[in-house]
Amino acid sequence: MAGASSWSARWARGRSSRWSCREGEPHSPSPRRAGRGQGRGAERRRLDTAPLPDPLPGGKREVLRLADAPATEAVGAELALKLRPGDVVALSGPLGAGKTSIARGLLAALGLEGEAPSPSFAIVQPYGPPEVRLPVLHVDLYRLDDPDEVEELGLDDALGDSVLVVEWPERAGPDRWPDALRLTLSIEPDGARALTWDAPAAWEGRWST
């Protein structure tokens, strides 16, 4: 089983050649990626406004109203207490809905000092001890051009000892992580957020509100 450090090193190598800018540089997609991404505009718009997923068979659905950003981060903090290696948390919702805010609350509760950066350009942002108690891969698949590209990220290899927190999981295809905890955010007319919490059957006994 790949340890967090070896996985991080592998990911870092891939990142420098494929996914990301060096720290401190302005972020911009490569011409290849920018060009390929343009043809998906219609699909992106459709996904950006996708309705709620169907409830999971045997799972549990709850809907919460989150009045402000601290309330969104508090959901992440509460979730952090429930997580185990191998868990996948899928964060859905339109741009600006609060997905990264949940991840930030989660990472802060696991011990991360300072604000976690959004991984929207890096795609994968790994965290491991000692900065956090539990290895976490914070992932944002928004810029993924093709669901097959998710294989190149090596996320499933890392699941043995890490938690995956994935923004835009739809980009990886519909059945990539069937046992994921699915959190879907939407923006209410008054600016608050609605959070629909879909816990799969595999999570029974782990979540109660």
How far is it, in rounded angstroms, from Cα 123 to Cα 141? 6
**Least Cβ distance, residue 108 to Mg ion (angstroms):** 15
Give residues with Cβ within 8 angstroms of 20, minimum separation 6.
27, 121, 122, 123
* Residue positions counted in the chain: 209
Which position among 83, 87, 99, 105 is part of the footprint of ligand ADP (CB under 6 A)?
99
How do beta strands 163-167 and 136-140 pair? parallel
- Looking only at Cα atoms, what is the longest distance across the chain? 47
User: Which of 100, 125, 184, 186 is close enough to bind Mg ion by CB under 5 A?
Assistant: 100
What binding mask, one character per residue, do residues 29-68 give for ligand ADP by CB under 6 A, x or -?
-------------------------------------x-x
Q: Is 83 in the site for ligand ADP (CB under 6 A)?
A: no
Total residues binding ligand ADP (CB under 6 A): 17
Which member of 79, 88, 93, 184 binds ligand ADP (CB under 6 A)?
Answer: 93
* Of 100, 68, 37, residue with least CA distance to 29: 37
Alpha helices by DSSP H, 49-191: 69-80, 99-109, 155-158
Q: Which is nearer to Mg ion, 167 or 170 (CB)?
A: 167
Residue number, nearest CB to Mg ion: 100
Chain residues in the site for ligand ADP (CB under 6 A): 66, 68-69, 71-72, 93, 95-101, 167, 191-193
